[in-house]
Structure 1
Amino acid sequence: MLHLRGLSCRLIERTYPQRWIEHYNANGYALRDPIIGWCIEHVGTIRWSNPDLPDPYGIMERAAGFGLPFGASISLGPKDCRSIVSVARADRELEADELETLDNLGRHIHQLLPCELELTVKQREAIECVAAGMRMKQAAAFIGISDSALKIRFRSIREKLSARTNAEAIQRAKDYNLI
């Protein structure tokens, strides 16, 4: 699953075999992946075996070598806020009902991920202090709120940015040009 906002990847969740993920990353396939390219340019569903899918780098053949010979992807949303969901099987092409399930799942996930992402003035103030190097206690004192109020702000920031930690929230806020 990828959720792209502009040129930033807001969410990536992968459950493919770890060996494939490591090989894919080590070889920089994301920028040459024919599925990602197709999904950025189109809305809809495509099977990985589609003969019209250009794959000059042979990435789909390499995926098959890692036990991912059959797959399909769905692309949803406008170009500036696109979600891509892909699934693969080792034994056969996905059937029509499985593609429909993929479509429904993709639409559900896409609706959960807002395309417009903004921090409130208070959230931005809090995250900017910590991003600048202040400890939580210092940031709370600087802003003039309690430690627990700052923790609540950061909880809402993490939720909004789909981050697990404050450090991850700060990095995502920077990546999305929110701070």
Structure 2
Amino acid sequence: MASPAQPRGVLEGAGLFFFAFAGYARIATLAEEVTEPGRVIPRAVLVSLGVVPGVSRTTVAMARDAHLPRRLARVSGERGVPRAAELAVGVVVLVVVLVADLRGAIGFSSFGVLLYYGVANASALTLRGDWPGAPVVPALGLAGCVLLAVSLPTAAVLGGSGLLALGLVGWLLTGRRHAAG
């Protein structure tokens, strides 16, 4: 880990900050899942400072697009709660909590969040038309995400890159299978 007083230490700290940023952003996406969000969500923030599996909706979307097992796309109840996806995410989080070093898990998560925001900025670069900030803002956003991602601890960068490569291979293999089927 770099010294906090050095520029690399500042970049690493900023990259790790995205772990907290993404966690609190997930809370807002869960508002449709609860009955009294104005009362329940502030309480949930206090209770969930440990582990919050807030990626079940992404899991459902990926399962609907056949990138994950279809059974994870099922929703139940009048609110359409993705119970199978929530359970799957919860199991993954539990395994990570039990076997991973917390600092390593935070670095790995930050790498994933920065990659996610980098992809969003790269996508914004493809938009046509005259809109405020085009194309400077998404270009700066993409460059910032890449800079912060590669400034994270080496294990987080290597682990995140390895998982990304594994996912790409899986996507290519399943993509060919779906195209042929």
Q: In proportion to residue count, which structure has more helix?
A: 2
**Normalising by structure 2, what TM-score?**
0.24
Q: Whose radius of gyration is greater, 1 or 2?
A: 1
